[in-house]
Amino acid sequence: MAARVFNERGYDGTSMEDLARALGVTKSAIYHHVSGKTELLRQSLELAMDALFAVTREEGATTGPAIDRLEHVMRGSVRVLVEELPHVTLLLRVRGNTEVEKRALERRRRFDHLIADLVREGVVDGDIRDDVDPAVASRLLFGMVNSIVEWYKPDRGLGCEEIADTLTRIAFEGMRSSRTRNEAGDHPGP
């Protein structure tokens, strides 16, 4: 709930009174559980990042060709975003204004490096075109994933799998080498 309020009002624009009102409790009830809104921010950002890093430890992200592992991480990241929408939205809006935000941004950078490393491996394996820059590809791939927070509405019937299918089809058909596309039975590339 705190993440939703932070997203609506902005972290700096949210008071403990705002949080108490949204939760339907007193401020003292909140302070009984946490030291303040900074701790609530930290918990929310850690929840989002922990969920994303958990995807990178799943079997599909640790075994098999790099391109398959990358696709698994992309699909898992869509799942995390949909399941933890308020927390991931908050994560994507932090700018490093506080120590808590700086730590979250550092974790995001580490995650970005993991993705770039998977792209790099895919290039070396010959499954991703050799003209794809891993750092740029990582940013673009997650630009697509992260944009979901701007338009996704859980009550509109579009499911996590449908989003992940569309996203990975668009992303991976453009990145695959012609050899990989041909092996997959797709249309031959240039």
Q: Are 102 and 77 in contact (CB under 8 A)?
A: no
Q: What is the model's pLDDT at position 182?
A: 65
Predicted TM-score (pTM) of the model is 0.87
Q: What is the model's pLDDT at position 178?
A: 73
Q: What is the model's pLDDT at position 189?
A: 44
Interatomic CA distance for residues 83 and 154, integer angstroms: 9
φ/ψ of 53, rounded to 5, equals -65, -30
- CB within 8 A of 110, min separation 6: which ones? none
Q: What is the model's pLDDT at position 186?
A: 52
Q: What is the model's pLDDT at position 47?
A: 98
For 13-152, where are the alpha helices, taking DSSP H only? 16-23, 27-33, 37-56, 59-62, 66-83, 85-93, 99-125, 134-151
Q: What is the model's pLDDT at position 172?
A: 87
Which regions of the chain are under pLDDT 70?
175-177, 180-190
102-117 pLDDT tens trace:
999 999 999 999 999 9
Class of the 44-183 domain?
A: mainly alpha
Judged by DSSP in three states, 128 sits in: strand
Annotated domain spans of the chain = 44-183
C-alpha torsion angle, residues 77, 147, 95, 117 (rounded to 10): 50
